C-alpha cells in the first residue's frame, strides 16, 4: 500500500496558500507591500498549477485599435498561439485575443473592492479582438468567435460577516455575471453559472484548491482562443 494520501495533498495545497496570505497580512506593515505579496501568492499558484498552454502574469492588455486595459494583477493568457506585444523590464503587454481570464487580488474583500474589480474586468472585455479563419488539410474552418474572458476577484479575508452572505451577493448583482469567480481563501469561493444565470457560493472546506480546480475545468470547456490577426497590429509601425 502507498503511504501517499490524495486528500492530504490537496488539503496541503490550500493550507500553503492560506498560510502565505495570512503571513503577508500579519507581517508587512505597508499596504502596497501587503498587496504585492498577496498578488505574488496567487500568481505563483497559477504559474505552478495551470496547464502549460496557459501563462499567468501581471500585465496590461491591448487591442489592435491601440486601446489599453488597466493593469491587471493576474492575466491568464495563451502562450501556444499568441505573441507578446511588449515585454521589457517586467512590464508585460499582451494582445486581447490571447486572454482567457483576468483577476484582481487584494488582502480583503468589500463592496468597494468588488466594484473596482468589476470595472477593471470590463476594461479588458471591452477591448476589440480579431479572429481569422483557420486553415487545415481539407480547407479552412470559419473564424472562431472570441471566448468569453473570465473575470475574478481574489482575497484572503472579507470585511463582511458572514463573508459569503447577502452584502457580497448584493455587490455582485450590481453587475451580474461580470465577476465569473471569487475566492476568499479563509472563507470560501463563488462561481457564476452562465447557463443558470446565477451565482453559486461554496463555504468552508479548502477554498483555494476548490477554486483552482473549478477554474481549470471552466478553462477546459471554454476551448482555445481564436487565431489572432497579427498583421492588424503592424499598422502601428507606420511603415
Contacts of 119 (CB under 8 A, 6+ apart): none
- Element holding 55 (H helix, E strand): strand 54-62
- 73 has catalytic annotation: yes
Q: Are 114 and 172 in contact (CB under 8 A)?
A: yes
Q: Are 232 and 130 in contact (CB under 8 A)?
A: yes
DSSP letter assigned to residue 38: H
CB count within 10 Å of CB 144 equals: 15
Q: Report the C-alpha gap between 40 and 36 in whole angstroms.
A: 6
Residues facing residue 205 across a β-bridge: none
**Strand pairing category for 181-184 and 150-155:** parallel
Q: Are 138 and 107 in contact (CB under 8 A)?
A: no
Nearest alpha-carbon partner for 93 in 120, 111, 66, 115: 66
Q: Please pick, among 39, 57, 63, 106, the residue that the annotation labels catalytic.
A: 106
| DSSP assignment string, 197-208 | TEEEEEESS-HH
Q: Please pick, among 97, 104, 187, 214, the residue that the annotation labels catalytic.
A: 104
- 106 has catalytic annotation: yes
Q: Please pick, among 73, 78, 97, 218, the residue that the annotation labels catalytic.
A: 73
Residues classed as catalytic: 73, 104, 106
Amino acid at each position: 500500500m502507498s503511504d501517499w494520501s490524495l486528500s492530504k495533498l490537496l488539503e496541503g495545497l490550500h493550507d500553503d496558500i492560506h498560510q502565505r496570505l495570512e503571513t503577508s497580512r500579519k507581517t508587512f506593515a505597508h499596504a502596497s507591500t501587503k498587496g504585492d505579496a498577496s498578488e505574488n501568492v496567487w500568481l505563483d499558484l497559477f504559474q505552478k498549477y495551470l496547464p502549460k498552454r496557459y501563462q499567468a502574469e501581471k500585465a496590461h492588455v491591448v487591442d489592435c485599435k491601440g486601446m489599453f486595459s488597466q493593469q491587471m494583477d493576474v492575466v491568464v493568457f495563451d502562450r501556444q498561439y499568441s505573441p507578446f506585444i511588449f515585454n521589457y523590464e517586467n512590464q508585460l503587454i499582451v494582445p486581447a485575443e490571447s486572454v482567457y481570464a483576468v483577476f484582481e487580488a487584494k488582502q480583503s474583500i468589500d463592496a468597494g473592492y468588488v466594484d473596482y474589480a468589476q470595472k477593471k474586468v470590463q476594461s479588458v472585455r471591452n477591448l476589440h479582438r480579431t479572429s481569422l479563419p483557420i486553415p487545415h488539410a481539407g480547407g479552412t474552418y470559419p473564424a472562431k468567435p472570441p471566448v468569453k474572458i473570465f473575470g475574478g476577484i481574489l482575497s484572503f479575508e472579507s470585511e463582511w460577516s458572514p463573508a459569503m452572505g447577502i452584502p457580497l451577493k448584493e455587490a455582485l448583482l450590481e453587475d451580474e455575471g461580470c465577476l465569473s469567480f471569487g475566492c476568499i481563501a479563509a472563507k470560501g469561493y463563488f462561481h457564476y453559472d452562465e447557463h443558470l444565470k446565477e451565482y453559486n457560493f461554496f463555504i468552508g472546506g479548502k477554498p483555494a484548491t476548490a477554486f483552482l480546480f473549478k477554474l481549470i475545468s471552466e478553462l477546459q470547456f471554454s476551448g482555445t482562443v481564436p487565431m489572432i490577426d497579427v498583421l492588424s497590429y503592424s499598422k502601428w509601425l507606420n511603415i
